[in-house]
Structure 1
Amino acid sequence: MKIKIMGTIVQNNFLDKFFPNGKTSVYGIIGNPISHSVSPYMQTQAFLKLKINAIYVPFEVQRGDISQVINSLKTLNIKGINVTVPYKEVILPYLDEIDQDALNIGSVNTIKIENKIARGFNTDAPGFILALKEENISVKNKNVIILGAGGTAKALAYILLKEKAKSIFLVNRTLEKAKKLEDSLKKYGNIKSYPLKNEILKDLIKQSDILINTTSIGLKKDDPPLFNYNFLKENKNLVVVDVIYFLTPLLKKAQEFSLKTIDG
């Protein structure tokens, strides 16, 4: 007999044998908030289609509990997790090993746990470049605006500089945080930080090729805009990227101006 789970048709005898039981591998994602994430649906659906005996679940972790996460995952024999905001940077001290690129970036988004060893990786960076290449977009000699100065911003700025972007314009509400990020990455290329102000964004948009939002603004329907999105029309060749999974107000406005857009 066939039944449908999460939109995927599977054989009933497959469920009897594999899903879930004492041999089911558990993966997940930690963050706060986490209810918006579509990763549990996508990943578990992929496991079902590939007939892998595993599930992927969300874990909303309170900020005060982050120091306990890794030991808890080891104790529960969880195989691995993804890490999203706001823990991509603060989780580092609790890991046993960290990949060199992740060390250079200063943040991780993927943790593999094997033989009680927690290893951190950053797949944001190579994954982002791959997504651009799939859209036939090269960053070489391009000017790129990055909105935000958190872990994702650092990962993308790092890989963009390694891929020979001409300049990175790092824009953040807290200028001091952006400058700290600038200082950590300037050895890799040309990067400069700016405060998040309308008049500055308008000028930067005119001279840029790509604009990337790495903030969480746009996750909620009532989020205020980061800046006056009408400024996007100042550059008809601008590519607008939002790391959020769906069509955000930023992307929607960009599409109204017939700009190329990419979501997370």
Structure 2
Amino acid sequence: MEMRINGETKLTGIIGYPLKHTLSPQMHNEAFKTLNLNYLYLPLEVEEDKLKDALYGIKAFNFRGINVTIPYKEKVLPFLDEVALEAKIIGAVNTIVNDRGKLVGYNTDAPGFLLSLKEFGVEVKGKRVLLLGAGGAARAVAYALLTAGAELVIANRTIKKAQKLLEEFRAVGKVSNILELGEGLLSLKPYHMAVNTLPLGMPPYENQMPPVDFTGITSDFVAYDLIYNPAETKFLKASKEKGARIINGFSMLLWQGVLAFEKWTGVSPPVDVMKKALGISC
């Protein structure tokens, strides 16, 4: 079935910088085409000094909605007309719906992350999890883990940012400690799972990984990297070599996309089609 573009086509897309790596357009456009929906999803690379103008443009061009990725998940908040409660608590937005000229911000990363854990059969309730990073994506993952009953330890290069996250999320769940990521290696042995939300491992940092020590981890350990390009980062490769279970960012990308699709269209997308578009085996 060919995609049609005409005067009735509803526009969606993704804003971020850079966007050369994004796989969201192929995932959503394949789903639109399969359901015969007259929608189109576009990559919209936006430099930071044009962010405000870009969001006004979403209204001007009557986009139905957009996704938001690095580095704008927190920076879009002041330019939105309304922010859903969960996104407000997280402090980051990755999905925007244009509700008849009113831009409403949501966070589908957090529930998408939990759906990805469910897909892989990972239970985090009562487990100790190390969160690497404290940015917009980390905030969504932290919220998801805490609401699922995990005990969280946050590690970040900027200790003030980790401290801020701890203070803001203290009421959500148990954040037991914050650690500074420095020159020394941080042991993964005390944890059931580690989640990397840092850009270390993706272009142009594909030859880098978080400063962690894999000594002592076992097959019970879960290494989760939000990066999906490359599919196996140095962090995941090193974890796999130690026998750990590994999960890359394809799963979270998929499920946050499923939830965003539903908000824009009001219908459930064909998940298997979206998986295939991402190159994930069904």
Q: How many residues align?
A: 245
Equivalent in the alignment of 1:35: 20
Residue 244, structure 1, aligned to residue 227, structure 2: yes
User: Matches of 1:159 and 1:227 in 2, distance apart?
Assistant: 22
Shift of the 85–222 alpha-carbon distance from structure 1 to 2, 3 Å rule, reads closer
Q: CA deviation at 1:111?
A: 0.2
| Amino acid aligned to 2:196 | N
1:13-24 correspondence to structure 2 within 5 Å? 15=2, 19-24=4-9
Alignment gaps of 5+ in structure 2 = 250-282
User: Matches of 1:222 and 1:88 in 2, distance apart?
Assistant: 20
Which structure is richer in relative contact order (CA contacts within 8 A, separation 6 or more)? Answer: 2
1:12-91 correspondence to structure 2 within 5 Å? 15=2, 19-91=4-76
2:216 maps to which of 226, 234, 238: 234
Residue 258, structure 1, aligned to residue 243, structure 2: yes
1:178 maps to which of 142, 159, 162: 162
Equivalent in the alignment of 2:109: 124
Q: CA deviation at 1:41?
A: 1.2
User: Matches of 1:225 and 1:219 in 2, distance apart?
Assistant: 8
Q: CA deviation at 1:189?
A: 2.3
Equivalent in the alignment of 2:260: none
RMSD: 1.6
Structure 1 stretches of 4+ moved >4 Å: none
The alignment-based identity, stated in percent, is: 39
Equivalent in the alignment of 1:5: none
Shift of the 129–109 alpha-carbon distance from structure 1 to 2, 3 Å rule, reads same
**245-254 or 217-226, which moves further after superposition?**
217-226
User: Matches of 2:185 and 2:202 in 1, distance apart?
Assistant: 24
Equivalent in the alignment of 1:143: 128
Residue 214, structure 1, aligned to residue 197, structure 2: yes
TM-score (normalizing by structure 2) = 0.83
User: Matches of 1:22 and 1:117 in 2, distance apart?
Assistant: 21
Alignment gaps of 5+ in structure 1 = 1-9
| Amino acid aligned to 1:187 | A
User: Matches of 1:222 and 1:180 in 2, distance apart?
Assistant: 26
| 1:151-170 deviations in Å (ceiling 9; x for gaps) | 111111112111111x2111
Q: Is the 8 A contact 1:98 1:119 kept in 2?
A: yes
Q: Is the 8 A contact 1:198 1:227 kept in 2?
A: no
